[in-house]
Amino acid sequence: MNAEKLKIINMTQSYVQSYIVYVSVELGIFNALFTENMTTHQLAEKLHISESLLKRFMKVLTAMDFVHQKNEMFHLSSLGKLLSQHSDESMESIILFNGRVCMKAWSFFLEGMKMNKSPIELMEGEAFFETNSVSNHRLDTFNQMMRQSSSQLNLDTLFQTRNIVDVKRVIDIGGGAGDVIVKFLKGFYRAEGIVLDKTYIREEAERTIEMHGLTGRCRFIEGDFFLPIENKSDVYILSRILHDWDDHHVNVILRNVAEVMTDKSVLFVIEKLLPEEVNRQTLPAFLEDMHIWAMCNGKERTEKEYAELFRQDHLYISKKHLLDSNIVILEVKKDVQSADEGYGYEICGSL
Ligand SMILES: C[S@@+](CC[C@H](N)C(=O)[O-])C[C@H]1O[C@@H](n2cnc3c(N)ncnc32)[C@H](O)[C@@H]1O
């Protein structure tokens, strides 16, 4: 087979590897091997699955470098350890979210394209964040995944060169389980914090606040970012919110925030930016754009696209902080003149 045909085959069959990884996490293979090396026989007994099938499956995991075998015993490689819930840098929840929710939703992609309707809506019959139930399998798995990625955000550089003392209140709009605001409150150490989100996540957010010893300084309020914001603050946070929504919904969210902002307040927008150039190197960003559409009818945007959305509400980017993994924090301010003049701002950090 020539190289081009092989490239196409590899691209179109990568779902096989996705399922292998997802199923091994779901079966508990990495958790079982994290604490104890085992033979296939022992592992099959522990997981209640066919030994002969597991033998074939373990060959794939060995070839993928997730496990190594010595004599009859299997142990985890450094890659395999990352897929166990016992690892400090565990990726278990993102794999489970991919397998339980995303991979299923993607099977509706063709219908979604034809009907211009997000695949998740076709699968679930409701939009991703639309649920009235307190517990929802999709959102529960999603929150675990978000928590893992939020806990890895490093915001230290954000507080180095600013007036921290005058910040009296920070509100995290769509703040989820509270993992982002606790980082902000560490920096803005004199401020009180508010997590505004939907009721289903209240308990988890309150647990996070308590775990960080912030019960006296931070509270959860049930709210809807499509309605006017009642709590005026010095600092507003929109972390991984705007990319979940189409332009129309983003306009509403930004208008609500802009309405309560003054020329002294700051809005921190945490997002990944879509590159301007389209090529093989930037492919992952464009795949993520399709993915966010498939999952919640959302959209990844270039910096210019964000700047244009901000401009409509007299908001402008005053600073850009570059964090790890292509995530940026756009520091957004309100001022009619600067918003109209376009941008020329400071960049802090490097990718
Ligand atoms: C992608 S998560 C981001 C969570 C958090 N900001 C972070 O960065 O980890 C999106 C959050 O928006 C919340 N959300 C969705 N629709 C909302 C609405 N109408 N009003 C308030 N929060 C909402 C969800 O419950 C979820 O916690």
Which residue has the least CA distance to atom 27 on ligand 1?
A: 176
CATH number of 3-81: 1.10.10.10
By residue count, the chain amounts to 351
Q: Would you say 311 and 297 are in contact if contact means Cβ atoms under 8 Å apart? A: no
Strand-pair category, 218-222 with 73-76: unpaired
Nearest atom in ligand 1 to the alpha carbon of residue 172 is 6
pTM of the complete model beyond 0.75: yes
Atom 3 of ligand 1, residue of closest alpha carbon: 240
Distance (Å, rounded) from C-alpha 205 to C-alpha 136?
Answer: 16
What's the pLDDT at 351? 43
What is the CA(244)–ligand 1 centre distance, in A? 9
Q: Coil, strand or helix: which one is 272?
A: strand
Q: CB–CB of 181/204 below 8 Å?
A: no
* Contact (CB, 8 A) for 211 and 201: no
Dump pLDDT digits (tens) for 170-202: 999 999 999 999 999 999 999 999 999 999 899
The CATH code belonging to domain 149-348 is: 3.40.50.150
DSSP secondary structure code for residue 38 in this structure? B
Q: What is the DSSP secondary-structure string of 163-211? A: --TT--EEEEET-TTSHHHHHHHHHSTT-EEEEEE-GGGHHHHHHHHHH
Chain centroid to CA 188: how far? 23
Strands (E), the chain: 67-70, 73-76, 169-173, 192-197, 218-222, 235-239, 266-272, 315-322, 327-334, 346-348
Mean pLDDT for back-to-back runs of 10 residues, the chain (351 residues) = 90 94 98 97 98 98 98 97 95 93 96 96 88 66 82 81 85 96 94 95 95 96 96 96 97 98 95 95 96 96 97 95 86 80 63 43
pLDDT digits (tens, 9 = 90+) for 88-101: 989 999 999 999 99
pLDDT of residue 285: 96
Domain extents in the chain: 3-81, 149-348
Tell the residue nearest (CA) to atom 4 of ligand 1.
176
